[in-house]
Each structure stands twice: as C-alpha cells, then as structure tokens.
C-alpha cells in the first residue's frame, strides 16, 4: 500500500494513556492551491473556491473546508502525533446501530443521510453516552 506506515514501536493501547498526557504533531502549511483543489473535488462552496466571492461571506475571504482541515489533522496525528496501536479510527457508536456510520469500500455509491431532527438528537445522545475520548 502506497504511503502505509508500520505501527510505531511506541504505539499505545487506550489503557496506556494517562489523564493529562499530551502528544504533539508536526505542522502543515496550507496554501490557496490546496484549498481550491480540495474544495473543487469535495466541498465546492464559493468561500472555498473563489477568494473574491468569499469576501462577501462570514469568512471575509478564502477559507479551507472544515473537511480539509480535518483530513490534514488526521494525517498529522497518524504521522507524528498520537501513537495509538491499531490506528486512529473515527468509529463512533455501535456496529449494530443503524445510525452509526459504516466503512466505505471501493466502488461503493454513497450519499449523505442526515435523518430527521429527532434521529439526529437520538444519535447525539447515543454518542454522548458512549464514553469517547477527545483527541
């Protein structure tokens, strides 16, 4: 697999983590070309694509997509930040919970399914009770 890395020898299990323990990652400098390229493919909103149009938005100028910054954050954590054995996986909820997000496989067709407001509230309460750690 291209770009795959071996598990670090210092990789930790969740039970190895201590309250207050901190980890640092590297840095990533984002430029206009990266912002526009990501947005064109995944989040084609004017404030991510057009600096002039973005001036009239709440951002007052070109801004990276939150999805883009989340992807960069994940890359930094995997490469140099939080050394968790088995990887850093955003697998909230139960595999048996139909509202929980499923993994996406190659050639799979996907679309968002936000559900009703009540469904969203139920999902939020479920996740709040699940005991997630914040990274």
Residue 26, both tokens: 């590297």
pLDDT tens-digit map of 81-120: 778 887 777 655 555 555 555 667 788 777 665 554 444 4
**Separation CA 93–CA 115 (nearest Å):** 16
What CATH number was assigned to the domain covering residues 23-90?
3.10.129.10
Q: Which of 34-38, 106-110, 123-127 has the lowest mean pLDDT?
A: 123-127
Q: Which of 16-20, 34-38, 94-98, 126-130 has the highest mean pLDDT?
A: 34-38
Do the beta carbons of residue 55 and residue 61 sit within 8 Å? yes
- The ranges assigned to domains in the chain are 23-90
Residue that wins the pLDDT comparison between 118 and 25: 25
- The predicted structure's pLDDT at residue 99: 54
Q: In the predicted model, is pLDDT for residue 75 greater than 50?
A: yes
How confident is the prediction for the chain on average, in pLDDT? 76
* pTM of the predicted structure, to 2 decimals: 0.64
Identify whether the C-beta of residue 53 lies closer than 8 Å to the C-beta of residue 61. Answer: no
């Amino acid at each position: 697999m291209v770009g795959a890395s071996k598990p670090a020898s210092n990789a930790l299990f969740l039970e190895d983590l201590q309250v207050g323990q901190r980890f640092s990652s590297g840095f990533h400098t984002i430029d206009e070309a990266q912002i526009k390229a990501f947005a064109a493919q995944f989040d084609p909103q004017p404030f991510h694509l057009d600096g002039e149009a973005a001036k009239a938005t709440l951002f007052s100028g070109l801004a990276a997509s939150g999805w883009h910054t989340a992807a960069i954050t994940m890359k930094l954590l995997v490469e140099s930040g939080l050394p968790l054995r088995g990887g850093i996986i955003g697998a909230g909820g139960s595999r048996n919970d139909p509202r929980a997000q499923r993994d996406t496989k190659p050639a799979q067709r996907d679309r968002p399914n936000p559900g009703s407001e009540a469904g969203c509230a139920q999902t939020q309460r479920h996740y709040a009770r699940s005991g997630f750690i914040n990274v």
